[in-house]
Amino acid sequence: MKQTKVAVAMSGGIDSSITALLLQEQGYDLVGITLRVWDYLSEGCQEKETGCCSMEAIFEAQAFAKKIGIPHYIVDVRNSFKEIVVTDFIDEYLNGHTPNPCVVCNPAIKWGEVIKKAEELGCEFIATGHYSQIAESNGRYYFTKAADTSKDQSYVLWKLPQEYIQKTLLPLGKFKKSEIKELALKRGFEKLAKKRESQEICFIPDDDYRNFLKKRVPELEAKVDGGVFISTSGSKLGTHKGYPFYTIGQRKGLNIALGKPAYVVAINKDTNQITLGGKEDLLQSKMTVSHLNFLKYESFEENKEYLVKIRYNSTPSACKIRTKETDIIEVEFTEPVGGVTPGQSAVFYESNDVVAGGIIQ
């Protein structure tokens, strides 16, 4: 019987490596694909390479593929990554928003480019090391939360189209992270099990997006420096370093003493004004969401209660949805929610299932 051929997206880390190992043990015919998305040196970065973008990670993925005896391919997607993911990242901050680059990267690069190469190699499916599960109902494919809810990544996968989800395998969705580490140890991959996981944005190794913006946008600092902090009533409180260097909910690094805790509650790019307020001023009862992608259903059901996450690590909030116009909805929270941030994703759930996602306006 012919084996099903699967391309595994390999980053060099434990999750994608064990994904390959599990699928191999299940009898799939595997090839490994690693994307080269960023080059620190050519981009003028002096920081030490870290995470899945580094050459070290690429070599580790290559070495693991060789160790388990599967072909491995490196695909150079640096130009596409720069044009799509990095450009969007910069543009969003210049628009006064706070972007999530993984949400942009997943459909365009991590799936789009891997599927393209997989099809060239005659693969029927691709597999990744994401912690989520895939379900199908009435001909529609959608993500559902991972068994390890503390590692669940369904939030960042909402933008994937149906045809990509249909071609995807997610073996880790049924495991706890601790089980994956234990499995790596049992199979003799101790170094992999103990490898530190990168938490920062992959193309910003020092985790300083402000410095990244300054390097990528000439004269940005000079153009936006000297903006004004204002209170929720409109009175001037002081000056700041420029609106792109702040995000909704930010408390640290404001460099202003008001005698009480202050948070960024609004950003106005047109006036270069940052509104500061108390924690209570972050609470909102409504938000507008656009750029919708539907997964479990083709549309929302009016007056039905859904759960929505507005940040990767946020607690889901109950809400109802009203369609304003094509591809734009108004979301009304059952209880006011803090930290609603333009540019971030709003992901809607029915129990553990992803119904749809969009971008907060």
Tens-digit pLDDT profile for residues 108-166: 999 999 999 999 999 999 999 999 999 999 999 999 999 999 999 999 999 999 999 99
HSE-CB for 358 with a 13 A CA cutoff: 23
Measure Cα distances from 220 to 89, 117, 198, 224 in Å: 15, 38, 28, 6
Torsion sign across C-alpha atoms 73, 202, 248, 313: positive
Active site residue 105: yes
Largest CA distance in the chain: 75
* pLDDT tens digits, 200-221: 788 998 889 999 999 999 999 9
53 pairs with which residues across the strands? none
- pLDDT of 6 > 80? The answer is yes
What residue has token string 């907060």? 360
- pLDDT of 287 > 80? The answer is yes
Q: How far is the C-alpha of 86 from the C-alpha of 38, rounded, in Å?
A: 10
- pLDDT of 46 > 60? The answer is no
Average pLDDT along the chain: 94
For residues 298-313, average pLDDT:
94
Q: How far is the C-alpha of 9 from the C-alpha of 12, rounded, in Å?
A: 9
- Choosing from 45, 102, 202, 319, the catalytic residue is 202
* pLDDT tens digits, 170-205: 999 999 999 999 999 999 999 998 887 777 788 998
Alpha helix (H) ranges present in the chain?
Answer: 14-25, 55-68, 78-81, 87-94, 101-105, 112-120, 162-166, 177-186, 190-193, 209-216, 220-224
Q: How far is the C-alpha of 92 from the C-alpha of 87, rounded, in Å?
A: 9
For residue 47, give both structure tokens.
């920081």
Instruction: Report the pLDDT value the prediction gives residue 44, as an integer from 0 to 100.
Output: 53
Single-letter amino acid, residue 104:
V
Q: Which of 203, 183, 238 is nearest to 41 (CA)?
A: 203
pLDDT band, residue 302 (cuts 50/70/90): confident
Structural domains in the chain plus CATH codes: 5-193 (3.40.50.620), 224-277 (2.30.30.280), 282-360 (2.40.30.10)
Instruction: Report the pLDDT value the prediction gives residue 134, as an integer from 0 to 100.
Output: 98
- pLDDT of 36 > 90? The answer is yes
* pLDDT tens digits, 266-279: 999 999 999 999 99
- pLDDT of 347 > 80? The answer is yes
For residues 20-24, average pLDDT:
97
For residues 96-112, average pLDDT:
97
- pLDDT of 297 > 60? The answer is yes
Q: How far is the C-alpha of 74 from the C-alpha of 93, rounded, in Å?
A: 31
DSSP letters along 25-47, please? HTT-EEEEEEEE---TTTTT--S
- Choosing from 52, 102, 105, 123, the catalytic residue is 105
Instruction: Report the pLDDT value the prediction gives residue 45, as an integer from 0 to 100.
Output: 52
Q: How far is the C-alpha of 243 from the C-alpha of 225, rounded, in Å?
A: 8
Single-letter amino acid, residue 361:
Q
Active site residue 202: yes
Instruction: Report the pLDDT value the prediction gives residue 303, as an integer from 0 to 100.
Output: 86
Q: Which of 68, 67, 61 is nearest to 33 (CA)?
A: 61
Q: Which of 254, 248, 296 is nearest to 92 (CA)?
A: 248
Instruction: Report the pLDDT value the prediction gives residue 164, as an integer from 0 to 100.
Output: 98
